[in-house]
Amino acid sequence: MTNRHVFEALVLPILDSFVDGINGTSLSLLIGTVMMYGPTGAGKTFTMLGSEQRREKLLRREADADLSFMQVDGGGASGNSGVLLYSMDHIFKRIKSESEPMNTLIVKCSYIEIYNDNIHDLLQEKGKIHNALAISEIDSKEFIIKDAVEPAVSDIHEALAVITKGESRLSSHT
């Protein structure tokens, strides 16, 4: 089973209902989270982000904003891209394809690591990464990580740049 199969079977239906919910709601804040859990070496990074070569290829294509991620991925036949990358591509395609603008929609990314029972924001300035963050409840059903850096992104290339920055700091906090 490839990452593409995991995306289509498990994540795509959730994404579509999430994006459809944005169209049909007056809520000002909707939060979606993609999370992986497991021991070192279990394949979390590969499942979420795919092969390093695939990410590097996407980063090099940054100048071509109209190039679809799925074209870069060869239509997904190889399945070498990660579930998170397929998800972001799908979200940005859905936003772009809407005949009526989706209110004012801002897509933000964060990169959080839970390591040794502490929450770290890997997008913080280098000296602040060691500061553990806290989860706060903003509603009876919504939670946020207080003070997390959440840059706005307008396409998959900007989102990938955020992910690459966070990934470079995983568990080393350098």
Mean pLDDT computed over 92-100: 75
Q: Where are the domains of the chain?
A: 3-167
Question: Considering the chain, what percentage of its residues have pLDDT values greater than 90?
Answer: 3
- What pLDDT score was predicted for residue 64? 45
Q: Tell me the DSSP string of 91-160.
A: HHHHHHH-SS--SS--EE---EEEETTEEEETTS-GGGTTSPB-EEESSSS-EEETT----EESSHHHHH
Mean pLDDT computed over 107-122: 85
Mean pLDDT computed over 37-63: 76
Mean pLDDT computed over 89-112: 76
How sure is the predictor about 151, in pLDDT bands with cuts at 50, 70 and 90? very high
pLDDT at 28 exceeding the cut of 60: no
CA distance 65 to 68: 8
Q: Which tens digits make up the pLDDT trace of 55-72?
A: 777 666 643 444 455 554
- What pLDDT score was predicted for residue 152? 93
For the chain, what's the residue count? Answer: 174
- What pLDDT score was predicted for residue 101? 59
The dihedral sign for the CA sequence 125, 104, 17, 84: negative
pLDDT at 147 exceeding the cut of 70: yes
CATH class name, domain 3-167: alpha beta
